[in-house]
């Protein structure tokens, strides 16, 4: 069993991921880390290939925004859910906003103690 040293963050509400050049939806973000991501899709993806990905994320008042990343597919296998596949990616190129997204998701999915009011 592989020892993980990178903390992953599961995303119960998936964020859409598409091909940067065609705009075609590839799947949804399953988890994310500083070094990569997992994509959940309807089809297996080509292992070893570098993909130009666009992550559709919530934006400010304007609605959604797009983060473009390049990532290499390291593995792809069938998910526990029939008809779905999980694919692991290692980042090749990512903007600063990608790492800001990780921090925002960590905050959003964390539990913090709230001080009681008097």
Supply the pLDDT for residue 113: 60
Supply the pLDDT for residue 12: 46
Q: What CATH number has the domain bearing residue 92? A: 2.40.10.220
- The pTM of the full predicted model, rounded to 2 decimals, is 0.76
Q: What is the pLDDT of residues 23-82, one digit of tens each?
A: 999 999 888 889 999 999 999 999 999 999 999 877 666 677 888 999 999 999 998 888
Indicate whether 103 belongs to any domain.
Answer: yes
At residue 98 the predicted structure's pLDDT band, cuts being 50, 70 and 90, is: confident
**Which residue in 34, 25, 37, 19 sits closest to 89, CA to CA?**
37
Indicate whether 113 belongs to any domain.
Answer: no
Which residues constitute the domain of residue 83? 9-108
Q: What is the pLDDT of residues 4-21, one digit of tens each?
A: 455 554 554 468 899 999
Indicate whether 41 belongs to any domain.
Answer: yes
Residue carrying structure tokens 């994320």? 57
Supply the pLDDT for residue 1: 44
Mean pLDDT of 89-108: 85
Indicate whether 34 belongs to any domain.
Answer: yes
Indicate whether 82 belongs to any domain.
Answer: yes
Distance CA 108, CA 99 (A): 14
Indicate whether 116 belongs to any domain.
Answer: no
Helix ranges (DSSP H) in 14-93: none
Indicate whether 1 belongs to any domain.
Answer: no
């Amino acid at each position: 069993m592989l020892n993980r040293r990178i903390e992953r963050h599961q995303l119960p509400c998936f964020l859409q991921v598409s091909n940067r050049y065609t705009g075609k939806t590839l799947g949804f973000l399953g988890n994310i880390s500083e070094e990569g991501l997992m994509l959940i899709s309807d089809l297996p993806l080509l292992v070893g290939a570098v993909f130009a990905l666009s992550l559709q994320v919530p934006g400010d008042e304007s609605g959604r925004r797009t983060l473009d990343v390049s990532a290499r597919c390291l593995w792809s296998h069938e998910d526990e859910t029939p008809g779905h596949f999980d694919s692991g990616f290692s980042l090749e190129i990512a903007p600063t906003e990608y790492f800001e997204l990780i921090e925002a998701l960590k905050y959003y999915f964390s539990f913090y103690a709230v001080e009681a009011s008097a």
